[in-house]
Amino acid sequence: MKKILVIHGPNLSLLGKREPGIYGKQTLEKINKDLKDLAKKAKVSLTIMQSNHEGEIVDAIGNSRSSYDALIINPAAYTHTSVAIRDAIAAAAVKTIEVHLSNIYAREEFRQNSLVAPVCVGSISGFGAESYYLAFSAVLSLLKIQKN
């Protein structure tokens, strides 16, 4: 069974309450439940974590090297600042998809640069919670798993 890891970065545990005009009303719990349902249907194993700590995220990516087939990551604010997370993705050599709820390219200038984008297979940005489901679908395609 293929194994997928989803990493949610800082402040994403507050989804639903946090700036809903930008990030939507969907809670992280609901997104995670939907992803679990999709994983069950596709018969893949899914692990989900959320962390506000850069080092913890770096550790999780590093550990994914031999244990996961693909990674979906919303690095949140670390997208724009973390060379460490970018280097961890490059070092892990696990197929990685970058996700953002908001369209980072339509926001403040400091959000328009993603340090992780160049080391990811691709990025999905701007579709709210749907960004995660699109990323999941992209992962299934990458891993050549048939979608139901």
Q: What angle do CA 48, 51, 52 make, to 5 degrees?
A: 160
The three-state secondary structure class of 74 is strand
77 binds ligand DQA (CB under 6 A): yes
97 binds ligand DQA (CB under 6 A): no
Candidates 33-41, 48-56, 94-102, 140-148 — which segment interacts with ligand DQA by CB under 6 A?
94-102
* 132 tagged catalytic: no
For residue 65, the tally of other CB atoms under 10 A from its CB is 12
* 23 tagged catalytic: yes
- How many Å apart are CA 49 and CA 81, to the nearest integer? 20
Question: Given 8, 23, 78, 132, which residue is catalytic?
Answer: 23
Q: Annotated active-site positions, please?
A: 23, 100
Give me the residues that bind ligand DQA (CB under 6 A), please. Answer: 11, 74, 76-77, 79, 100-102, 104, 111
